[in-house]
Structure 1
Amino acid sequence: MGIIQDGQLVHARGFGQASLEHSVPITPRTVFDIGSTSKQFTAAAIGLLALENELGLEDEIHDWIPELADYGVALTLDHMLHHTSGLPDYLGLMGRKGVQTADWTTPADALLALAEVQQLDFVPGARFEYSNTNYFLLSLVSERASDTPFHEFVHTRPFEPLGRRDTLLFHDHTLVVPRRATAYGPRPGGGFQVDMSDFEQLGDGAVQTTIEDLLKWDANFYSHALGGEPLQAFLHSTGRLNDGKAITYARGLFVDTFRGLARVSHGGAWAGYRAQLMRFPDQKTSIVCLSNLATMDPNGLCEQVAAIVLADVLAPR
């Protein structure tokens, strides 16, 4: 658990064990998989490429990934950034083929499953429906636009310039990750069991990081050191449906309110890992919760901490 105020990590504390097998305690430098909280880094990669005119938000996905079927309608990169594409979630597609979270799968496996999809779930822009497919495919778009493997591009662009020494993309299931927590879930009948994944898909998740490194990323939302104000505007711009209705999903971030305060956040859940990064920009306060237990509720915990830290400015329940 971490609390960031005015760019400083004012509270950081680990609770419990990073490894039950070896009795290793969790610390602020313990590495966790942050699941879908990773999507803001994919959005940042696409934003940087768009600002450099390497791609356009109105580009159709087939311009970059011709392996997909012709859906007969325009499906743009911006539809995907806002989860209004109509693309089904590849995790569900692979699950129906018998693939388990613990299995070793590659980006090629996921793309093959998506290439078999002949029809969208709805017309792009008709509604918001969260789908991991969108950000997985955006990682492939980034690779093709930059001519650089996605894990390398993200390392040299959003990660390295901000000094994030303990952050990586889990692109290879054989990687040894120093200080990484093992993820667990409840074992039927009592106790715990290991709950890890060997998926190698990127973009929709797979960032592994620490509370201390997330502080450096959080600080950029105020300093604009990476990408300047244009990148911040890009990330925080919420989507609109075809009928003009606004949605709370921006680009890799949810933008809404909590008890009267503006809030920017994104949670994550993958295998036994759980994560939440919740920012209150007007108060320059962020709450981070990273967990290696599948039954944890980091969003609820962050809201409970926010209710204490921001008690003087929050509206009554």
Structure 2
Amino acid sequence: MSQVVKGELGQRLDHYLSRITPFGFAGAALLAQDGEVVLNKGYGLANRAEGIPNTAQTVFSTGSISKQFTAAAIMKLEMQGKLHTGDPLTKFFPGVPADKANITLHHLLTHTAGIINYSGEDFVMADKEETVLKILAAPLRFSPGEEYAYSNAGYSLLAAIIEQVAQQPYEQFLHTQLLAPAGLHCTGYRLPDWSATNVAHWYNGRNDFGTPLEKPYPSWNLLGNGDILSTTEDMFRWHQALLGNDILSEAVKEKMYTPEQQEYAYGWRVVETEHGRCIQHNGASSYGSSALFRRWIDANVVLVLFCNTDYMGEVLIRTLQEPLEALIFGEDVPLPPPLPAAPPCPLETFAGEFVLPEGDTIHVSLENDSLHLMPSSQAGINWLLSLSEAETAVYNQSFQQTQTVMAAALAGDTEPLFNSLARREARTSGVLRTWQELVEEVQPTEIKVLGIRPSLYLEDACEAITKFTGPEESGWFVSIWRDGQNVGVLLTELTSDNIFTAVAQPVTIDTLVTYHLSYAQPRQFQIVSESSSIRELISEQNIPARKV
């Protein structure tokens, strides 16, 4: 399928994605409505060094969307009478430890088995037997069936079971039983002939991680749980195949789409939205790739989104999911202004340090044909957001509150954190579980409040991002504040601490515009020049930043 931009809806999404590309988006998107593809197009670069663009045919990583292929393979084997989702691990592996003897395929499929999340690094070679033994030897996080905890390792066990029952390699079974019959010719790990395809490079900031084909791939740390390669068109073909009964029966699909804890079914999240039932999954990697597959069954709308770069340390698809849904279903999203064909002034003239009146700095760098404005402190974040005096006071207060309660929690005193909670009695146990999860994973010894920004989760609120660093791991704790009280907490994953960096482009000789994809709010700054040199940038609140 060649590039498609069709109808009012296709043009609407294309307009948005084209506008945000100079501000940090790179990837490809497919949108179908009532069975017709109205958008299938690539944006940005697949290979920055060689200037190769992303197109409708570019190959991307599906990330953890791969899990639904593994789930489909298990269901295919159940259709064939070769296994059942109620089968225990002891049926497939000898010497299963007693605490794991009652784990079933159903537990693995729904992330309720209690086993570890990761068995090792994605691109570090590990054989099947070694990986299975490592997973089975690790202590359980909880008794099977009692709780939900996402587990990549659980899907690696499922892949090993598929190989044992099918008596053929995992990818070969997927190809012969699922992918080829569904018409997917550009989907897999190593079986497709990738030589004539454009496989997108992965980018984390400036770092080019190449493609997975250049790495030990797929390792058994990855097989069955992530990073199958595909195209937007192939994923749409898979959606169409799942609508019929040739690949999987209606009864099997009903079972596969029945959600358990945390709305997780077999390889899919199944959620009820204001637009009806949505069957979905996403995927992401610390190397910069991410993917989103959303199937609004009742509305008959399908979105496939691939990204081959991160966004200031955040997963790019997460910043785009909400605005894309809004656009698809008729809402408006603020856009950056159109850019001139050529920059009105050389971008390199902006590079350097800018100093705010109280001495805080904004570091400006030129990256990937755009300007990156990195604040050194909360004062710099406030300036980039063009906050009013009242808003600045709220953000600064929230910063201090976060610093106080998080430092106390690190020292072993969680009482200040609990005292800050709105609806303390109802929320204390949940917040404690979130905090304990961070402590268990990271074993933190250091803390740094990175900053405060508008909340991505609650309206009329701001959120603090706090980084906790341990001997080997780091974790990020999000505290959401409203009216001086903590109204929400969650854990997030970042690939860098640059999340408050704003991407900017000059739109005229005297106007610079920033647009942060997470907030979807363009901000204008006056450019003050002298003899072709940039002297100052002045915010919408008339606060200057002087270049030094």
Match of residue 279 from structure 1: 295
Is the 8 Å Cα contact of residues 287 and 306 (structure 1) preserved in structure 2?
A: no
Alignment of 1:216-231 (within 5 A): 216-231=237-252
Match of 1:288 among 288, 297, 304: 304
Higher-Rg member (1/2)? 2
* Alignment counterpart, residue 253 of structure 2, candidates 232, 244, 252: 232
From the superposition, tell whether residues 113 and 266 of structure 1 become closer, same or farther in structure 2 (CA, over 3 Å).
Answer: same
Deviations along 1:132-163, one digit per CA (max 9) or x if unpaired, are 01111101111111111100000111100011
Letter in 1 for 2:246: A
Partner of 2:209 in structure 1?
Answer: 194
Distance of 1:177 and 1:207 partners within structure 2: 18
Identify the residue that residue 338 of structure 2 maps to in structure 1: none
Measured after TM superposition, the shift of residue 219 of structure 1 is 1.0
Uncovered stretches (5+) of structure 1, i.e. residues with no partner: 95-99, 240-245
Residue in structure 2 matched with residue 178 of structure 1 by the alignment: 197
Kept after mapping to 2: 8 A contact 1:105/1:200: yes
Once the two structures are superposed, the pairs formed by residues 80-91 of structure 1 within 5 Å of their partners are 80-91=108-119
Question: Of 60, 72, 95, which residue of structure 2 is paired with 1:32?
Answer: 60
Query: 1:4 is matched with which residue?
Result: 32
Correspondence for 1:44 among 55, 69, 72: 72
After the TM superposition, which segments of 4 or more aligned residues of structure 1 sit over 6 Å from their partners? none
For structure 2, which runs of at least 5 residues remain unmatched after alignment? 1-28, 332-458, 460-548
**Contact residue 170 and residue 207 of structure 1 kept, 8 A:** no
Q: How far off is 1:108 after superposition?
A: 4.2
Shift, 1:176, TM fit: 5.6
Q: Distance in 1 between matches of 2:329 and 2:279?
A: 15
Q: Which residue in the other structure is 1:243 paired with?
A: none
Tell me how far apart the structure 2 counterparts of residues 161 and 262 of structure 1 sit (CA, whole Å). 27
2:316 matched to which residue of 1? 297
1:206-240 Cα shifts (integer Å, max 9, x gaps): 3100001011011123223311312321220112x
What residue in structure 2 maps to residue 154 of structure 1? 174
Query: Does the 8 Å CA contact 2:61/2:230 hold for their aligned counterparts?
Result: yes
Alpha-carbon distance in structure 2 between the residues aligned to 1:215 and 1:74: 37
Is the aligned partner of 1:249 residue 2:253?
Answer: no
Deviation (angstroms), 1:83: 0.4
Give the alignment's Cα RMSD to 1 decimal. Answer: 2.4
Per mean C-alpha deviation after superposition, the further-off stretch among 123-132 and 261-270 is 261-270
In structure 2, the CA distance between the partners of 1:224 and 1:301, relative to structure 1 (3 Å rule), is farther
Equivalent AA in structure 2 for residue 308 of structure 1: L
Contact 1:90 1:113 in 2 (8 A): no
Using the alignment, how far apart are the partners of 2:158 and 2:209 within structure 1? 30
Structure 1 CA distance, aligned partners of 2:196 and 2:229? 9
CA distance in 1, matches of 2:319, 2:201: 22
Q: Secondary structure of 1:10's partner?
A: strand
How much does 1:101 deviate? 4.5
Deviation, 1:307, is: 1.3
Name the SS for the 2:270 alignment partner.
strand
Tell me which residue corresponds to 1:143. 163
- Contact 1:287–1:305 (CA<8 Å) still a contact in 2? no
What is the match of residue 309 of structure 1? 328
**CA spacing shift, 1:24–1:58, aligned 2, 3 Å:** same
- Asked if the contact 2:188–2:230 (Cα under 8 Å) also holds between the matched residues in 1, the reply is yes
Shift of 1:305: 1.8
The structural deviation recorded for 1:68 is: 4.2
Q: Say which SS state the counterpart of residue 99 (structure 2) adopts.
A: coil
With normalisation by structure 2, the TM-score equals 0.50
Please report how far the alpha carbon of residue 76 of structure 1 lies from its aligned counterpart in structure 2 after TM superposition.
Answer: 0.5
Cα deviations by residue, 1:166-188 (Å, 9 ceiling, x for unpaired): 1112589xx868321111111xx
Deviation at 1:252, TM superposition (A): 0.4
Q: 1:242 — aligned with what?
A: none
Aligned AA for 1:132? Answer: N
Greater fraction strand: 2
Q: Equivalents in 1 of 2:318, 2:301: separation in Å?
A: 15
Question: What amino acid sits opposite 2:317 in the alignment?
Answer: P
Question: Is the contact made by 1:32 and 1:208 (CA closer than 8 Å) also made in structure 2?
Answer: yes
Shift of 1:53: 1.1
TM-superposed CA distance for 1:74, in Å, is 0.8
Deviation at 1:60, TM superposition (A): 0.7
- Distance in structure 1 (CA, Å) of the matches to 2:76 and 2:264: 19
**What percent identity do the matched residue pairs reach?**
27
Question: CA 1:272–1:107 in structure 2 vs 1: closer, same or farther (change >3 Å)?
Answer: farther
Letter in 2 for 1:230: A
Contact 1:67 1:115 in 2 (8 A): no
Find out whether 1:124 has 2:144 as its counterpart: yes
Query: Which amino acid is the alignment partner of residue 107 of structure 2?
Result: H
**Distance in structure 1 (CA, Å) of the matches to 2:224 and 2:113:** 16
TM-score computed with the length of structure 1 as normaliser: 0.85
Q: Equivalent of 1:210, from 199, 213, 231? A: 231
CA change 1:8–1:231 in 2 (3 A) is: farther
**Counterpart among 46, 50, 66 of residue 22 in structure 1:** 50
Q: Distance in 1 between matches of 2:196 and 2:272?
A: 36
Look up the SS of the partner of 2:76 in the other structure.
helix
For 1:64, the aligned partner's letter is F
**Bigger Cα displacement from structure 2, 70-79 vs 52-61:** 70-79
1:264 shift after superposition: 1.2
CA shift in 2, pair 1:73/1:106, >3 Å: closer
Secondary structure of 1:71 counterpart: helix
- Alpha carbons of structure 1 residues 102 and 205: separation in structure 2 relative to 1, 3 Å: closer
3-state SS of the aligned residue for 2:180? helix
Deviation at 1:2, TM superposition (A): 1.1
Moved more, 201-210 or 218-227: 218-227
Q: 2:96 and 2:288 mapped to 1: Cα distance?
A: 31
